[in-house]
A and B are shown apart, each in its own frame.
Chain A
């Protein structure tokens, strides 16, 4: 079932293979130097981590979760159409 589309696609794949061969493999050059460090996770993702904030653990947490009044104060105000005011 080699349809017309399949033939055309096949020709383009062949061209792509030839083209890729001239482009060189971008990944192979840095493959050696970018060896993945197994077992190293992003900071904060270590499951055994004890939080650095644990000394503050006896402090009472603010429990006013039901009265969430904070508004975003980050870089979102750079985005046109992104409002920083609650509804």
Chain B
């Protein structure tokens, strides 16, 4: 192993685990400022920056638990799941999984799903752009075998389900929301997160509409996805053709 790689690994280990600081001691000068204090400067900045990135990705979680708690939780998260990518945009995907076994939030069973929704929001925000499929484009195609069409969802589309009303919890606790009393017994959420243009939308769907769009996303034809006879297919599709749910299918 190269000396450089070895040095970098020792330093990284010392940042994330104070117990491993001795291994990096030989790398650090100690004139004027003690070795441990020099290392602490790096450690603090690493944790502060990562905590800020997490707060930026999970603003609703932060509002729900409060800033002080969030920062303490972030510190635990960073140690458990240090970044594996050089891009901060990729950081935080394990937050929901982390929360599921993090005892201090065990009393908030909906919180991991709120984190999943916020992560979906971030992924949708940074997803590829796409030209929306419009009714006019479809009309040009002609009317034969319309039931066999395969719609392509916009590349930003993300599906989130929860046993809890996390869609409403998210709305009420997002930046311009007003925290309100919500009963956790209000039932499950079926959410489509999508960014047809510049703004991410969090759409709360009926279970039937959710299943329909999920099937389409999986490559099903309209006829195959149309399994619930009570589902208002016409209205759902008409709305989807006006709000950019689908991208223009090159096939």
Listed in ascending order, the chain A residues whose CB lies under 8 Å from chain B are 2-3, 5-21, 23-27, 30-31, 34-36, 41-47, 49-51, 53-54, 56-61, 63, 65, 68, 70-76, 78-87
Contact = CB atoms under 8 A, between A and B. Distances in A.
Contact of A57 (B44, B179, B243): B44
Nearest to A60: B40
B184 A85 contact: no
Given A34-B199, A79-B182, A80-B182, 9 more contacts: A13-B237, A20-B238, A23-B242, A26-B243, A31-B197, A42-B56, A45-B89, A70-B104, A74-B62
Contacts, number: 226
Interface residues of B, number: 84
Contact of A7 (B67, B147, B184): B147
B41 to A, nearest CB: 4
B44 A85 contact: no
Contact of A72 (B76, B105, B185, B197): B105
A17 B49 CA distance: 49
A31 B134 CA distance: 14
A74 B66 contact: yes
A65 B234 CA distance: 55
Nearest to B199: A34
B79 A5 contact: no
A64 to B, nearest CB: 10
